Amino acid sequence: MHSEALYQPRRPARSMSVPVRGLSYHLQVWGDPSLITPERPALVMGHGYMDVGASFQFVVDALADLEGEARYIIAPDWRGFGLTRMPPVDTYWFADYLGDLDGLLAAPELGLAADESIDLLGHSMGGNIVMIYAGVRPTRIRKLINLEGFGMPRTEPHESPQRLARWLHDLRQPKSLRGYPSVDGVAERLRQNNRRLPADKAAWLARQWSEQREDGFWHILGDPAHKGIGALLYRVEEVLACWQRISAPVLWVEGDETDTRQWWGDRYPRSDFESRLDAVFRLERHRLTQCGHMLHHDQPEALAALLKAFLDAPQASA
């Protein structure tokens, strides 16, 4: 791959940082608050595990092709990812993402009124974040999009001692992520992870996903501490209690090539997930073809068409 073969964004983002909960939170922003209307509020997009906010550039471009540069879009780098730096930590706690999102929406630099509804989208880990947040702050969300945020396999209380023992053991194991001698090596890694990612997009994304440091190597912009096991159990009943409080219409989108068994084997059967979706009051579902887990990379135009139709549809009464 040649480093000069770069994707050219059609609606470039601007980079900004805002103070949130003691962190300098980095954001990719397209447009500004002057674009907000009741029918077209700000769209906030939350990325997945080991990803960055810039990852949404391709679908933002595809949306702009459909509707022009008419939408105010905000995509943060979650704590410990991208350019949202953390002081040294050995554990990340899921609830902090909810606190960060709540703080971001209140940041005066973003120009969102306290009582102003937003449209909220999350991919994978981000999908799990936005689903819970929409149940905790239901009046803040006008429409909600979950891109393959499946949640996690069920755990039971009797697993807690072993889980905590694993967490304590894990704290003593140093974490690291490999460096790459060139940015082209990062792009190749991205394409190994996703065979559908075109070379020009991989070359562009590699520069958002990594940085060159003093050792001359390119390093992934993700804190190695994210690799550690969490201390807390995943309690499905607590998650569903939040999902049941979602009042916004929900769009669920998945890829036809996604196979969750590659992550969890038989610990999280599809039937279990389907029963969880039953907790969502107003749900619209779509499956994109020739598409894997990274929907916004594999089929940005098809995804953008779904997003536009869903976001522009008149609100039905609850």
Please report whether residue 169 resides in a domain: no
Mean pLDDT, the chain, whole residue set? 96
168 within domain boundaries: no
Q: Could you tell me if residue 174 is inside a domain?
A: no
Q: Is residue 207 part of a domain?
A: no
- Average pLDDT of the residues in 85-99: 96
Read off the pLDDT band of 1 (50, 70, 90). Answer: very low
Does a structural domain hold residue 105?
yes
* Per-residue pLDDT tens over the stretch 277-287: 999 999 999 99
CATH of the domain at 94: 3.40.50.1820
Q: Judge whether residue 318 has pLDDT over 70.
A: no
Q: Which residue carries 């501490």 as its tokens?
A: 225
**What pLDDT is recorded for position 211?**
97
Residue 75 lies in a domain: yes
pLDDT band with cut points at 50, 70 and 90 for residue 315? confident
pLDDT of residue 115: 87
The pLDDT value recorded for residue 111 is 97
Tell whether 181 is covered by a domain.
no
pLDDT of residue 285: 98
- What pLDDT score was predicted for residue 194? 96
pLDDT at 217: 97
Lowest mean pLDDT among 27-36, 170-179, 250-259: 170-179
State the pLDDT at residue 317. Answer: 60
pLDDT at 63 over 50: yes
For residue 105, give its domain range: 14-154+235-312
The answer to whether residue 159 sits within a structural domain is: no
CA 170/CA 230 separation, integer angstroms: 9
% residues pLDDT > 90 (the chain): 96
- Per-residue pLDDT tens digits for 193-229: 999 999 999 999 999 999 999 999 999 999 999 999 9
In this prediction, residues 139-164 reach a mean pLDDT of 97
The pTM for the full model equals 0.96
Q: How many domains in the chain? A: 1
